[in-house]
């Protein structure tokens, strides 16, 4: 390390520690990827999520029917994707848990084996 140039990161590290960068975002993204492993489900979410968000925006600038229609259609796309994959829609999991109903977060065919303790 050059004496003339300051270290780019504190404590003289040459790069930021990878495990400490955005730990919550990494966990959320890993969870999302675990729940959307089927290519059809993943792809239909790439259409359904933006359509749902656009629907919210349309509520403010167009007749309400357009916004509600886009929101519902986007959500239906995502729901169909979860039916194909075989797991529950993420928003319903907490509700089902509160009611004591069984949930399927990750479809059985995509579950990773749990290593022995």
Whether the full predicted model's pTM is greater than 0.85, yes or no, is: no
Instruction: Map out the domains of the chain as residue ranges.
Output: 10-105
Quick one: pLDDT at residue 89? 86
pLDDT digits over 71-113, tens only? Answer: 999 999 999 999 998 888 888 888 988 999 988 888 887 777 7
The residue behind tokens 């656009």 is: 54
pLDDT digits over 45-80, tens only? Answer: 999 999 999 999 999 999 999 999 999 999 999 999
Quick one: pLDDT at residue 30? 86
DSSP of 1-17, one letter per residue? Answer: --SSSPPSSGGG-SS--
pLDDT digits over 5-54, tens only? Answer: 655 555 555 565 566 677 888 888 888 888 888 899 999 999 999 999 99
In contact, 43 and 82? CB cutoff 8 Å:
no
* CA nearest neighbour of 81 among 29, 45, 32: 45
Q: Is the pLDDT of residue 1 over 60?
A: no
Quick one: pLDDT at residue 51? 96
């Amino acid at each position: 390390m050059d004496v003339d140039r300051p270290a780019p990161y504190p404590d003289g590290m040459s790069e930021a520690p990878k495990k400490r960068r955005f730990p919550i975002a990494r966990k959320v993204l890993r969870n999302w990827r675990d729940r959307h492993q089927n290519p059809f489900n993943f792809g239909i979410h790439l259409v359904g999520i933006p359509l749902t968000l656009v629907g919210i925006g349309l509520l403010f600038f167009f007749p309400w029917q357009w916004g509600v229609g886009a929101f519902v259609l986007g959500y239906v796309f995502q729901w169909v994707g979860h039916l194909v994959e075989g797991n529950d829609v993420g928003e319903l999991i907490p509700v089902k848990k509160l009611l004591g109903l069984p949930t399927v977060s990750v479809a059985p065919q995509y579950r990773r084996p749990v290593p022995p303790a």
